[in-house]
């Protein structure tokens, strides 16, 4: 069974502080991993995917197969980063599974 | 994300009635998905379809049914067997391994 775990429901940081949103996964094969973001009153949208290895809005995420983790990081949080963040996994069966999400609040 | 459309945005039904939520995409995506989003529960997968005329149960399929007669369309029926149908429902589509595009969602209220 594939599973995505986001241990923190809520995360609150101050502007300019580093932020790390944790994501652990369970999957027997080689997964595709994603981070999605949902800003207030907007549709869920892709933030980044592990295969592209790019930085979007200052966020990066590294796939650690040994620890089965895909944590999302940003060195200096901004107030506009406040949103709900979801880690997601898809395997060879097309099944796209999401974690429960972490609500990030960046305080001024 | 204008390529995937859910309708209606709000839906009210009486308890015991079946109701069908619409999801249409013009992105030529193979895969389509239905999720239920509840506070604190994240997105829970109801059903998904890899190809026309084929679909798979997700993690919470009980009380729901789907069809995939056309590539563009993946309607979800919430049946009277669903014990707690009031929720926010999200439809998505994608190509395998690629980003998923989401609809605006349908908020269903059963009274």
Structure confidence by residue, pLDDT tens digits, A31-61: 899 999 999 989 999 999 987 777 789 999 9
Nearest CA in chain A to B40: A100
Of how many residues is chain B composed? 111
How confident is the model over A12-26, as pLDDT tens digits?
A: 999 999 999 999 999
Percent of chain B with pLDDT over 90: 83
Widest CA span in chain A? 43
Q: What is the mean pLDDT of chain B?
A: 93
What's the rounded Cα separation, in Å, for the pair A83 and A103? 6
Which of B42, B50, B99 is the closest to A99 by Cβ?
B42
- Predicted confidence at residue A104, as pLDDT, reads 98
Mean pLDDT over A68-81 rounds to 96
What pLDDT was estimated at residue A98?
A: 95
What pLDDT score was predicted for residue B2? Answer: 56
How many angstroms separate the Cα of A65 from the Cα of each of A7, A28, A29, B93, B99?
18, 11, 11, 27, 21
In chain B, count H helices and then E strands.
Answer: 0, 11
pLDDT at B28 over 90: yes
Residues in chain A: 108
CB within 8 Å: A96 and B48: yes
Cα separation, A88 vs A84, in Å, equals: 13
pLDDT in tens, B54-96: 999 999 999 999 999 999 999 999 998 888 999 999 999 999 8
What average pLDDT score do residues A65-85 get? 96
Surface-to-core class of residue B86, CB atoms within 10 Å of its CB (0-12 exposed, 13-18 middle, 19+ buried): middle
Interface of A with B in 28-87 (CB under 8 A): 32, 34, 36, 43-46, 49, 51, 86
- So what's the pLDDT on residue B30? 94
């Amino acid at each position: 069974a594939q599973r995505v775990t986001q241990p923190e429901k809520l995360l609150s940081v101050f502007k300019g502080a580093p932020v790390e949103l944790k994501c652990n996964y369970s999957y027997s094969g080689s997964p595709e991993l994603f981070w999605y973001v949902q800003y207030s009153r907007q549709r869920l949208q892709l933030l980044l995917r592990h295969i592209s290895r790019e930085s979007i809005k200052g966020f990066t995420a590294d796939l650690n197969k040994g620890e089965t983790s895909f944590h999302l990081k940003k060195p200096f949080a901004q107030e506009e980063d406040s949103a709900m963040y979801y880690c997601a996994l898809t395997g060879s069966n097309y099944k796209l599974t999401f974690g429960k999400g972490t609500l990030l609040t960046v305080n001024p | 994300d204008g390529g995937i459309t859910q309708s209606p945005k709000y839906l009210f039904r009486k308890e015991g009635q079946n109701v069908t939520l619409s999801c249409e995409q013009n992105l030529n995506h193979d895969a389509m998905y239905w999720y239920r989003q509840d506070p604190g529960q994240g997105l829970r997968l109801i059903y998904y379809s890899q190809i026309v005329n084929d679909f798979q149960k997700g993690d919470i399929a009980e009380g729901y049914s789907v069809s995939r007669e056309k590539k563009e369309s993946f309607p979800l029926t919430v049946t009277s067997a669903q014990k707690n149908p009031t929720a926010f429902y999200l439809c998505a589509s994608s190509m395998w391994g690629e980003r998923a595009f989401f609809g605006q969602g349908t908020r269903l209220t059963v009274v």
